[in-house]
Chain A
Amino acid sequence: QVQLQESGPGLVKPAETLSLTCTVSGVSISDSYWSWIRQSPGKGLEWIGFGHYSGSTNYDPSLKSRVAISVDTSKNQVSLRLTSVTGADTAVYYCVRSGGVYWYFDLWGHGTLVTVSS
C-alpha cells in the first residue's frame, strides 16, 4: 500500500527553521519527483517546490531563498527545510508525488500542521 507520512515539529518559533520529513512506503522513491505543498488555514494550495533523488530541485521563486528539499533513498524519505519562518508560514504541509513527465500530483500525504508562534 502506497503511503506518504509527514512528520516534524508542530510548533516553530519565528525566525527559526521549519524542518519536515516525509516517509515514503509502497513505492520506489527513485521513480518520482517529490513536492511539498502547503495550505494556510482556510486558504488555498501553494506549491513550495520539488526534489528528486538525482539532486534535481525546483522551487517557487518567492520561497527559493529560504527553502531546501532533499531526497534520501537510503531512508526512503523526502525532507523540507524552510528558514527564517514567520506567521505567514503557518500551514498544513503536504508531501506529494508527481511523475516528472507530468507535473500534476497523483499521490498526497495526510498533511501535518505547522504553527509558527513564540
Chain B
Amino acid sequence: EIVMTQSPGTLSVSPGERVTLSCRASQSVRYNLAWYQQIPGQAPRLLIHGTSTRATGVPGRFSGSGSGTEFTLTISSLQSEDVAVYYCQQYDKWPPLTFGGGTKVEIK
C-alpha cells in the first residue's frame, strides 16, 4: 500500500499570502496525484488531477506541481473561501487508492 504523507498538519496564513502544501508518497506514483478541498461541513471537491490539471471551475490561484514522490499544491493568494482541509490522493498503484491525512488551512 502506498502511504501518502501531508505536511504541515495545519497552516495559518494571512489573506493574500501565498500558501504551499506538501504531499509525499512512500513510493513513486509518477504523475497520478490528485488534490481535493474539503470546506467545513461539506463533501470534498476535486481541485487538481494529473498533478497539475485544474478541475472544471477551479480558480487559477490553485496550482499543482511535482512528480514521483514529492508534490505541492500552491494557492497563490489566499482568499477567505479557501479555508478548508486539503487532501492529496494517489491513483497510480492500487488497490487501495490512498489519501494523505490532510492539511488544514486557516486564516491568521
Q: Do A and B come from one complex?
A: yes
Q: Which residue of chain A has its CB nearest to the CB of B49?
A: A104
Cβ-closest chain A residue relative to B97: A47
Q: A44-B87, A44-B102 are in contact. Are A108 and B44 (CB under 8 A)?
A: yes
The B80-95 residues at the A interface (CB cut-off 8 A) are: 87, 89, 91, 94-95
Q: Which residues on B sit within 8 Å (CB–CB) of A102?
A: 49, 91
Chain A 49-60 interface 0/1 with B at a Cβ cutoff of 8 Å (1 = within): 100000000111
Interface centre among B46, B49, B95 (most CB of A within 10 A): B95
CA distance A108 to B89 in the complex (A): 15
Pairwise interchain contact A103-B99, C-beta atoms closer than 8 A = no
Would you call B99 and A58 a contact (CB within 8 A)? no
Chain A hits for B96, CB < 8 A? 47, 60-62
Query: Judging by beta carbons under 8 Å apart, are A110 and B97 in contact?
Result: no
* A108:B87 contact, CB within 8 angstroms: no
**Residue from B87, B99, B102 having most chain A Cβ neighbours under 10 A:** B99
> Helix, strand, loop or mixed for chain A's interface?
loop
Bound Cα distance A102, B34 (Å): 11
Q: Which A residues touch B102, using CB under 8 A? A: 44-45
Q: Which residue of B lies closest to A59 (CB)?
A: B95
- Separation in Å of the A105 CB from the closest CB of chain B? 6
Assess the A110–B91 pair: CB atoms within 8 A: no
B8 to A: closest C-beta gap in Å: 15
- Chain A residues with Cβ under 8 A from B46's Cβ? 104-106, 108
Binding site for B on A (CB under 8 A): 35, 44-47, 49, 58-62, 94, 102-106, 108-111
- Known pairs A45-B36, A58-B94, A111-B43. 20 more at Cβ < 8 A? A44-B99, A44-B101, A45-B44, A46-B99, A47-B96, A47-B98, A58-B95, A61-B1, A61-B96, A62-B96, A94-B43, A103-B91, A104-B34, A104-B46, A104-B49, A104-B91, A105-B34, A105-B44, A108-B45, A108-B46
User: Can you offer 15 A-B residue contacts whose CB atoms are under 8 A?
Assistant: A35-B97, A45-B102, A46-B99, A47-B96, A58-B94, A59-B95, A62-B96, A102-B49, A103-B97, A105-B44, A105-B89, A106-B55, A108-B46, A110-B43, A111-B43
